[in-house]
């Protein structure tokens, strides 16, 4: 039986231009209307996720910063699992490194983040990895931003911590995503779906790959799951 859903946002319930898919939202609301909990999981900030969750109509359980922080609902206290001090140290080294090349890193929402550091994909990811290879920091390329995160922290680890607080287990969840940063989430969930635009790594481990991409693929996958479960 389908007990709960966890889903990525960018590339999953959006279109290729990052515009929210009304088709995806309509399908999500079908589940919400059936009383099925929906958790949003993203690399973005909690305040962003809070707004999106309210507009969609969920109960406000969200995972932000690629698992670095989560909350059980709109009134829930943010649970921080990442160590941002490690990420900031690595970021300072990167700023110095690229400044020597005349490149300025473009950070995202620095003052709104609890656990990670995110910046624009204006520099080579491989070079970022190389410059901080000796530091205990994980580099995550979501396709939309480069994130620095504590090793071992992911959307999957956050789901493992969040699920019991909702009286569920990770295996009770259907997970949907499109990028490598969704990998651990799909692996720990009871059933994993990726879209036609999903990454090669996700397609190797997903239980179902949709024929359609982006928001339309999301709706296709969810409706298929409703029939299965």
> Which positions are catalytic?
8
Q: CB of 210 within 8 A of CB of 13?
A: no
53: burial class by Cβ within 10 Å (0-12, 13-18, 19+)? Answer: buried
**CA neighbor of 36 nearest in space, from 59, 67, 70:** 59
CA distance 219 to 214: 9
Question: Residue 107 carries which DSSP code?
Answer: B
CA nearest to 192, candidates 149, 142, 139, 155: 155
Q: How many residues does the chain have?
A: 229
Residue 228 burial (10 A CB sphere; 0-12, 13-18, 19+):
exposed
The beta strands (E) that lie in the chain are given as 4-7, 38-41, 62-64, 69-71, 79-80, 117-119, 138-141, 146-149, 173-177, 191-194, 208-209
């Amino acid at each position: 039986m389908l007990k709960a859903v966890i889903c990525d946002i960018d590339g999953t319930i959006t279109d290729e231009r990052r515009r929210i898919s009304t088709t995806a939202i309509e399908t999500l609301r079908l589940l919400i209307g059936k009383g099925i909990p929906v958790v949003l999981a993203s690399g973005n900030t909690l305040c962003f996720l809070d707004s999106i969750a309210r507009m969609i109509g969920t109960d406000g359980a969200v995972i932000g910063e690629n698992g670095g922080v989560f909350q059980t609902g709109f009134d829930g206290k943010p649970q921080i699992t990442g160590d941002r001090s490690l990420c900031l140290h690595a970021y300072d080294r990167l700023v110095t490194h690229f400044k020597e090349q005349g490149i300025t890193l473009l950070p995202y929402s620095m003052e709104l983040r609890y656990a990670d550091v995110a910046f624009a994909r204006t520099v080579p990811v491989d070079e970022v990895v190389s410059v901080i290879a000796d530091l205990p920091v994980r580099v995550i390329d979501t396709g939309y931003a480069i994130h620095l995160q504590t090793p071992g922290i992911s959307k999957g680890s956050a789901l493992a911590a969040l699920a019991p607080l909702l009286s569920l287990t990770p295996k009770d969840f259907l997970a949907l995503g499109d990028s490598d940063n969704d990998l651990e989430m799909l692996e720990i969930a009871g059933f994993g779906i990726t879209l036609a635009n999903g990454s090669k790594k996700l397609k190797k481990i997903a239980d179902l790959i949709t024929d359609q991409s982006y928001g339309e693929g999301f709706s296709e996958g969810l409706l298929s799951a409703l029939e299965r479960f």
